Structure 1
Amino acid sequence: MSYSAIPKTYAAAFADASSSPEEAEQELDSIVGIFRVEPLFRNFFDTPAVKREEKEAVLLKTFQGKVSDLTLNFLQVLLRRGRFSFLSEIHDALKEELDRKAGRVRAKVRSYPLLSEAELSKLREVLKERFKSEFILEVKEDPSLIGGFVVRFQDLAIDGSMKNQLRKVRQTLLDSKLPVGVVYEN
């Protein structure tokens, strides 16, 4: 099994085992969020010097009664099989799996200036019509684009930025050759 297949395999198993995959994803989202904001907590689970039994006890004490039994069991399985370090990647793979099943696509949009709600709505409509999927847009402002936007999803990129347009103009000018002997005078 390849490194990238591990998160996908566990995510698919978790989604299949859950009666409500969306709720399971929300629980996993909360847990991953805790690990992001509490690096000491994450380090505890990543440290090989701490015994698995101690990690499992902390896991139970922290999450029992706060998450579903399925999610808690899933975390224990990851811990026992030495896959706990993949938790964040499993969470991302689970979101992708649920989006795929629901016909949704997550796209990252960088723009400058930040797109208005009306512009985002229009962009969603155009993407939906072109790619026959619902789009969830994650928007971020990026002044380096000078103007316009870049949309990235799956293996595709749509670059409508001023930076890209200027790069194309520059390349066209560099590629064009002036005839030999032509002299321009003012």
Structure 2
Amino acid sequence: MQNPRLASRYAKSLVDLASEKGQLEAVRADMLVLQQIIRGSRDVANLLKSPIIKPDKKQKILSAILEGKVSDLTSAFIRLLVAKNRESSLAEITTEFARQYNQLKNISKVKITTAIPLDNAILGAIKQKVEAGTDKTIEMETVVEPDLIGGFVLETEDRLYDASVLRDLKDIKKQFTQNIYTPNIK
């Protein structure tokens, strides 16, 4: 069950506590590890959501999985979630933590989708262009989608630039199906 308000509050508490203790970067790394573990293992995701498994058993399993991979602060946070029966929201909390961290550090995520992989020189040029239009630091994510045929799709937090050949072909198809210059013959 998704609960964005709960995830936001727990993530904010963790961001504040980590900042106060000077461990924000370590906790961020821990949240990335947790995201990878939860997304990479269906068993872990099911464990977190299972109402059948007792909290003490969940805590033992999570401790065994995360031993040596996360900091003490993150371990204590996970123990708190399990004690409060909120472990099912851990995936949401990690995502929200990343969003709040990016907002705190003035980082903007940009996703670029292309038909073929881009080399680092082109990615660097694109990153410079995007950074020039904003005062934020840019984190680039690249995706290869052969269906685009050519061009690119650039997604920022609040904008989408679709300069792909696929979109152009769809626009042309739409123009042909809705040709306003020929009368409807019945």
Give the TM bin, normalised by the shorter chain: 0.7 to 0.9
TM-score when scaled to structure 2? 0.83
After TM superposition, list the pairs within 5 Å mapping 1:12-27 onto structure 2: 12-18=12-18, 19-27=22-30
**Equivalent residue number for residue 83 of structure 1:** 86
Provide closer, same or farther for how the CA distance between residues 148 and 179 of structure 1 changes in structure 2, counting only shifts above 3 A: closer
Contact 2:3 2:89 in 1 (8 A): no
What CA deviation, in whole Å up to 9, does each residue of 1:115-150 have, x standing for no partner? 221111111111111233221111011011111111
Q: Looking at CA atoms only, which structure, 1 or 2, has the larger radius of gyration?
A: 1
TM-score when scaled to structure 1? 0.83
Where 1:113 maps in the other structure, the secondary structure is coil
Contact 2:150 2:165 in 1 (8 A): yes
For residues 56 and 27 of structure 1, what CA distance do their matches in structure 2 show? 17
% same residue:
23
**Equivalent residue number for residue 59 of structure 2:** 56
After TM superposition, list the pairs within 5 Å mapping 1:99-138 onto structure 2: 99-138=102-141
RMSD of Structure 2 on Structure 1 (CA): 2.3
Where 1:131 maps in the other structure, the secondary structure is coil
Given the alignment, which residue of 144, 148, 151 partners 1:145?
148
Contact 2:116 2:145 in 1 (8 A): yes
**Equivalent residue number for residue 171 of structure 1:** 174
Where 1:50 maps in the other structure, the secondary structure is coil
Where does structure 2 lack aligned partners over 5 or more consecutive residues?
none
**Equivalent residue number for residue 10 of structure 2:** 10
Q: Give the deviation of 1:173 after TM superposition.
A: 4.3
**Count of paired positions:** 179
Q: Give the deviation of 1:24 after TM superposition.
A: 0.2
For residues 135 and 106 of structure 1, what CA distance do their matches in structure 2 show? 6
Contact 2:26 2:71 in 1 (8 A): no
Amino acid at match of 1:3: N
For residues 114 and 66 of structure 2, what CA distance do their matches in structure 1 show? 39
Q: Give the deviation of 1:174 after TM superposition.
A: 4.5
Provide closer, same or farther for how the CA distance between residues 168 and 84 of structure 1 changes in structure 2, counting only shifts above 3 A: same
What CA deviation, in whole Å up to 9, does each residue of 1:46-72 have, x standing for no partner? 321221122223334554565322111
Contact 1:113 1:148 in 2 (8 A): no
For residues 182 and 58 of structure 2, what CA distance do their matches in structure 1 show? 74
Where does structure 1 lack aligned partners over 5 or more consecutive residues?
181-186
Q: Give the deviation of 1:86 after TM superposition.
A: 1.6
Provide closer, same or farther for how the CA distance between residues 65 and 114 of structure 1 changes in structure 2, counting only shifts above 3 A: closer
For residues 163 and 37 of structure 1, what CA distance do their matches in structure 2 show? 31
For residues 130 and 159 of structure 1, what CA distance do their matches in structure 2 show? 18
